[in-house]
Amino acid sequence: MKKTIITVVGRDTVGIIAKICTYLAENQVNILDISQTIVKEYFNMMMIVDMQRSEKDFGTLAEELEQIGEHIGVTVKMQHEDIFNKMHRI
């Protein structure tokens, strides 16, 4: 399994989850876990996904998600699970 962490942060607006999840589904990326919060008007979402079945490589998925984020006014970042864990280790 190729687990990847996706974070989405920005001002809340209609359709953020729908646009991100639609893109992932269209590219055979399976959502394993998802958490989202809204604090005042700020949206924050973290997803753990499995991109094993996707025909696109990590770089392409990351770039296209970033472009979707720019289009809807949020920041979208992807990280490999092992890198994310090392960065957030206490």
pLDDT in tens, 59-87: 999 999 999 999 999 999 999 866 655 55
Query: What is the per-residue pLDDT across 9-57, written as a single tens digit (0 to 9) for each?
Result: 999 999 999 999 999 999 999 999 999 999 999 999 999 999 999 999 9
pLDDT of 2 reads: 78
Dihedral sign, CA of 13, 18, 24, 30? positive
Q: Which residue has the higher pLDDT, 90 or 68?
A: 68
Residue 45 DSSP one-character state: E
**Of 16, 21, 82, 19, nearest to 44 (Cα)?**
16
**CA angle centred on 52, ends 49 and 57, rounded to 5°:** 95
Q: Quote the pLDDT of residue 25.
A: 98
| Residue corresponding to tokens 């094993």 | 52
